[in-house]
Amino acid sequence: MAEAKLKQEIAESRAEIEKLMEQMSSSMHAVHKDLSLRSRVPNWSGAENVTSLEEFLPSMDRAAIIGI
């Protein structure tokens, strides 16, 4: 009798764990950041608008500070 009750509780617990894992996976989305220099330096990526060094270096400092 106790063994059957224990098996039932384990089955219910497993079902609850699976349900919670599904909820967690649906609410969390992976975020991928492009940290390559190619995305940071327009001239390397072939962009027509070239950023001067005076504009580029402060933007890199800001990105490093805020953790982009």
Q: What is the mean pLDDT of the chain?
A: 76
64 vs 35: CA distance, rounded Å: 11
Q: What is the mean pLDDT of residues 46-62?
A: 72
| C-beta separation of 32 from 38 below 8 A | no
Top-confidence residue, 66 or 9:
9
pLDDT, tens digit (0-9, with 9 covering 90-100), for 22-48: 888 776 666 666 667 666 666 555 555
* Angle value at C-alpha 50, between 47 and 51, nearest 5 degrees: 130
| C-beta separation of 66 from 59 below 8 A | no
Taking the model in full, what pTM does it have?
0.38
Give the pLDDT of residue 62: 80
- The CB density around residue 40, as the number of other CB atoms within 10 Å, is 16
